[in-house]
A and B are shown apart, each in its own frame.
Chain A
Amino acid sequence: MKLLTSSNARHGLLRIAVLASLVAAWHFAVVVGQAGGGFIPAPGAVVRALLIWIGLPIGEGGQYAGTWAPAAMASTGRVFAGFLAAAALAIPLGILIGRYRIAADILDPVIQLLRPVPVSAWVPFSMVFFGIKPAAAIFLVAIGTFFPIVLNTIAGARHVSDLHLRSAAMLGASRWRTLTHVILFAAMPSILTGLRVGMGLAWVLVIVAEMVAVKSGLGYELWNSYYYSRMDIIVAVMVSIGVFGFLSDQLILLISRRLLAWHKATDK
């Protein structure tokens, strides 16, 4: 799997140089400059904490040793469960709203009323409704990712070329086949944009939910390590979240490239 989009070798070197100098600056600020008064961990300490957390047999171990994988898997599972539930609802709904006046008249006001409510404002509600349980996090992710996916799908479905609709009609496609064989594909670039935005939000939301409403996952570990004053673990959690967010985004990009091979060719 090719993760880096730019194949230019010089860009690759520059990218590594920027990252390395950031880490070096951090190291010197903390170790040499004593920045943070001893509370900020040095990069080396964070890497060490992360490796112990993952489960490598180095040093003391302690309560975190080997608990990384279950936490990471819990959060990832919730991100994908909420994300897939949202997509499964938002894509068909967006196509209906985008194509049918009746659906737009009935559903658009509901969406427009719910959309301005910040997803974080749903936290107390979901805690009451689901309790302090994983379902609360999945719900929050689903609510938050639903809106970018549905809005982008609506936009995509509305802008299907008349030529394609006429082509489908003269080739005998029924209404249903036109939806599944023409409109869905024509809207695909927009849908994938919505999915990508949604996936970015999903990681924000799972961490928020786990900090408050769930007793497991990376968000829970993040808040917990604050109470234990484990700054090295706090930063290790942040690094882990960053990596997972990046990998999820790359996954969506990979799927986009597969599904939109034709679109790339059109762009040329």
Chain B
Amino acid sequence: MSVADPGKVGETPIVSISDVRVEYGVGADTVLALSNVSLRVLPRTFLTILGPSGCGKSTLLNLVAGFAAPTSGSVLVEGRPVSGPSVRRGVVFQDSAALFPWLSVADNIAFGLRVSGRPREEVERRTAAALELVRLTAFANRYPSELSGGMRQLCAIARALVMEPPVLLMDEPFAALDAMTRERMQAQLVEIWERIHVTIIFITHSVDEAIYLGDEVLVMSGRPGRVLKRLPVNLARPRSPTSAEFNAIKKEALESLAFNPNQVPNKE
């Protein structure tokens, strides 16, 4: 199914996924991870993808990131087919061990600028700005192992955003955090997103997180992953998870998830 935002017809989508199918393995062991998935994301959108564990939502993200290729169908970003990872598509992984443990926070953030040979002055200026953006300036010289889980993910966000990618892909980045830290991180992420021009695709299995963060919530079914529903969230930020409007959307999301008898979303 293909859903274009009716209010913005004519605007060119930054991410465009058409009839994507992903299979793993060969012969009788073939697993169908994604089936007939189509999706368009307009620039500057905060899209959350909600689905049960193992529904192929990480696979979908890996396709956009360029870490995997579809069995059939096409994945276009900025109008061009994705053929591999790129600095135009930043990634924040679920596991904060993705940070380079041998580099300090500042050096982790500067990594992308350094390996692309930017002048020293530019590296320092942009690294300082990214540290400021995620409020880690005071921890610039610490190693990742000396930070809390939440701070590590902020560092991972800064490491990706310092490259100024038009698209930021986030794969359950707060799943490993405790509930209170997670809420703080969600609020901070919205704040960051409001300050810069970036399209975010954010994977989660938490209904509350998906609705709190997203302009739109894409609800996916269990394996094989399909798009069940696309819910617009037209609520002003910061959102209150206890408001009536919030809960109306939550009800809708839970109902569409419940369509699949095997799938129960993880409760928070």
Q: A168 an interface residue at 8 Å Cβ cutoff? A: yes
Pick the contact of B115: A173, A185, A262 (CB < 8 A).
A173
A186-204 CB mask vs B (1 if < 8 Å, else 0) is: 1010000000000000000
Contact, CB under 8 Å: B98 / A164? yes
Chain A residues within an 8 Å CB radius of B146: 265
Contact, CB under 8 Å: B115 / A163? no
User: CB-nearest residue of chain B relative to A260?
Assistant: B102
Contact, CB under 8 Å: B97 / A170? no
B118-130 CB mask vs A (1 if < 8 Å, else 0) is: 0000000000000
Chain B residues within an 8 Å CB radius of A186: 102
What total of chain A residues lie within 8 Å of the partner, measured CB to CB? Answer: 24
Q: A177 an interface residue at 8 Å Cβ cutoff? A: yes
Pick the contact of A188: B89, B93, B102 (CB < 8 A).
B102
User: CB-nearest residue of chain A relative to B169?
Assistant: A170
Selected interface stretch from B80-88, B190-198, B259-267? B80-88
Interface positions, chain B 142-177, Cβ under 8 Å from A, are 143, 145-146, 159-160, 163
Q: A114 an interface residue at 8 Å Cβ cutoff? A: no
Contact, CB under 8 Å: B111 / A265? no
**Most chain B beta carbons < 10 A, residue from A167, A174, A188:** A167
Interface positions, chain A 140-180, Cβ under 8 Å from B, are 161, 163-164, 166-174, 177
Chain A residues within an 8 Å CB radius of B100: 164, 167, 182, 185
Q: Nearest 8 pairs between A and B by C-beta? A: A171-B112, A169-B85, A172-B87, A163-B98, A265-B145, A173-B115, A177-B115, A185-B102
| 27 residue pairs from A and B, CB less than 8 Å apart | A163-B95, A163-B98, A166-B67, A166-B98, A167-B91, A167-B98, A167-B100, A169-B67, A170-B65, A170-B86, A170-B87, A170-B89, A170-B91, A171-B115, A171-B159, A172-B87, A172-B112, A174-B115, A177-B115, A185-B102, A262-B101, A262-B145, A265-B143, A265-B145, A265-B146, A266-B101, A268-B145
